[in-house]
Structure 1
Amino acid sequence: MSFLRNLAPALLVVLWSSGFVGATFAAPVAPATTTLLWRYVAAALLMVVVVLALGRRYGARYLRREAVLGALGQAGYLYGVFRAVEEGLPAGTAALLASLQPALVAVVLSASGRGSGGGRRQAVGLAIGFAGVALAVGPDVAAGSGAAGALWAVLGMLSLSAATVLGDVWPAPDDGRGHDVLDSLAVQGVVALGVFAVLALASGQATPPADPTFWLAIAWLVGLAFLGGYGMYLYVQRTRGPVAVSTWLYLTPAVSAAWAWAMFGEELPLLTVAGFVVSLAGVLLTRPGRRSRPARRAAGEAAPARSERYASPQRAR
Structure 2
Amino acid sequence: MHCEYTDLCGYLNDMTKSFLRHLAPALLVVMWSSGFVGATFAAPVAPATTTLLWRYVVAAPLMVVVVLALRRRYGPRYLRREAVLGALGQAGYLYGVFRAVEEGLPAGTAALLASLQPALVAVVMSGFGRRGGRRQAAGLAVGFAGVALAVGPDALTGSGAGAAGALWAVLGMLSLSAAAVLGDLWPPPAAEKHGVLDSLAVQSVIALGFFAVVAVSSGQAAPPADPTFWLAIAWLVGLAFLGGYGMYLYVQRTRGPVAVSTWLYLTPAVSAAWAWAMFGQELPLLTVVGFVVSLAGVLVVRPAPERGTPAKDSRRSGAAVTPGPPRGCGRPAHSRGRAPARVPPSAN
Return the alpha-carbon distance in structure 2 between the equivalents of residues 232 and 34 of structure 1: 25
Return the alpha-carbon distance in structure 1 between the equivalents of residues 118 and 307 of structure 2: 26
TM-score (norm 1): 0.81
How far apart are residue 276 of structure 1 and its match? 5.6
The answer to whether the aligner puts 1:184 opposite 2:238 as a matched pair is: no
Correspondent of 1:4 among 4, 20, 29: 20
Which residue is equivalent to 2:47?
A: 31
Q: How do 1:209-228 and structure 2 match up within 5 A?
A: 209-228=224-243
Return the alpha-carbon distance in structure 2 between the equivalents of residues 56 and 273 of structure 1: 44
Which residue is equivalent to 2:156?
A: 139
Return the alpha-carbon distance in structure 1 between the equivalents of residues 224 and 213 of structure 2: 18
Which residue is equivalent to 1:311?
A: none
The answer to whether the aligner puts 1:255 opposite 2:270 as a matched pair is: yes
* CA spacing shift, 1:297–1:230, aligned 2, 3 Å: closer
TM-score (norm 2): 0.74
Q: Decide whether the 8 Å contact of 1:83 with 1:152 is kept in 2.
A: yes
Correspondent of 1:66 among 59, 64, 82: 82
Return the alpha-carbon distance in structure 1 between the equivalents of residues 307 and 51 of structure 2: 47
Structure 2 spans left out of the alignment, 5+ residues:
1-16, 313-348
Structure 1 spans left out of the alignment, 5+ residues:
291-295, 304-317
How far apart are residue 283 of structure 1 and its match? 4.5
- Bigger radius of gyration, 1 or 2? 2
How far apart are residue 73 of structure 1 and its match? 0.1
SS of match in other structure, 2:130: coil
* CA spacing shift, 1:275–1:2, aligned 2, 3 Å: closer
- Corresponding letter in the other structure for 2:157: D
Return the alpha-carbon distance in structure 1 between the equivalents of residues 244 and 164 of structure 2: 26
Return the alpha-carbon distance in structure 2 between the equivalents of residues 78 and 223 of structure 1: 16
SS of match in other structure, 2:72: coil
Return the alpha-carbon distance in structure 1 between the equivalents of residues 197 and 295 of structure 2: 31
Query: Bigger CA drift: 231-240 or 96-105?
Result: 96-105
The answer to whether the aligner puts 1:235 opposite 2:254 as a matched pair is: no
Return the alpha-carbon distance in structure 1 between the equivalents of residues 97 and 87 of structure 2: 14
How many residue pairs match? The answer is 293
How far apart are residue 249 of structure 1 and its match? 1.3
Q: Decide whether the 8 Å contact of 1:33 with 1:199 is kept in 2.
A: yes
The answer to whether the aligner puts 1:157 opposite 2:157 as a matched pair is: no
How far apart are residue 104 of structure 1 and its match? 1.8
- Corresponding letter in the other structure for 2:202: V
SS of match in other structure, 1:112: coil
